[in-house]
């Protein structure tokens, strides 16, 4: 596996480091995903209860992500063979096939490059991050969870859809926004806009025309 460029901290708006690695669907590279949206999510270890529930949820929602032209990629420190055995266990017990790639990262080189673990980390206990990456390879959203709490697949779907709608609008997605809901206008911070508004919040909080 080629080493990604070192990057101790990644933030929203940063370009993601490239890497090449083995996965359950064959060799892949981050650059292969340019031109479409990507959700990359990591987990501390295979055969763990919370991670298993998440993989079942993502696998069941795979077609909904595909409808948004959004690929899925998982990452774990475990070996490719462990990934394959875990995917088999999930299929046999839950009746769902994990067809998106699960990348192996046994040396933590990807986790470190993406800022998920410290440079001197000896295990993957902190590797539980979601990156929403746009077609240009830029991080548009990210979240980190503790090992005790499972992530919401519905919220990840909503985030991808909201980013796409905001880009196309352009506009702003309010709290609880769902596809089909109106976006908000970008405020115009001028005295003319403030004084012309019909009410005190009308200049900074108004829905975009449908």
> Which CA distances in Å does 81 have to 46, 127, 176?
11, 20, 40
Tell me whether residue 51 is one of the annotated catalytic residues.
yes
What is the DSSP code (8-state) at residue 72? E
Phi, psi of 115 (to 5 degrees): 70, 20
CA distance 48 to 112: 22
Are 69 and 36 spatial neighbours (Cβ–Cβ below 8 Å)? yes
| Catalytic site residue from 16, 21, 39, 51 | 51
CA distance 177 to 165: 10
Q: List the catalytic residues.
A: 51
């Amino acid at each position: 596996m080629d080493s990604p460029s070192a990057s101790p901290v990644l933030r929203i708006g940063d370009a993601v480091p490239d890497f090449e690695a083995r996965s359950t669907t064959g060799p892949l590279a981050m650059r292969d995903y340019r031109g479409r949206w990507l959700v990359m999510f990591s987990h501390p270890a295979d055969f763990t209860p919370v991670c298993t529930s998440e993989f079942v949820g993502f696998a069941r929602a795979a077609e909904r992500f595909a409808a948004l032209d959004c690929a899925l990629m998982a990452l774990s420190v475990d070996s490719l063979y462990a990934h394959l055995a875990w995917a088999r266990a999930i299929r046999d017990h839950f009746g769902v096939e994990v067809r998106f790639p699960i990348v192996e990262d046994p040396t933590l080189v990807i986790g470190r490059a993406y800022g998920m673990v410290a440079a001197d980390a000896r295990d993957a206990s902190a590797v539980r991050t979601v990156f929403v990456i746009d077609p240009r390879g830029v991080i548009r959203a990210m979240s980190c969870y503790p090992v005790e709490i499972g992530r919401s697949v519905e919220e990840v779907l909503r985030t991808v859809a909201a980013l796409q709608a905001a880009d196309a609008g352009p506009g702003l997605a309010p709290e609880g926004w769902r596809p089909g809901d109106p976006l908000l206008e970008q405020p115009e911070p001028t005295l003319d806009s403030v004084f012309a508004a019909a009410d005190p919040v009308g200049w900074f909080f108004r829905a975009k025309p449908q």
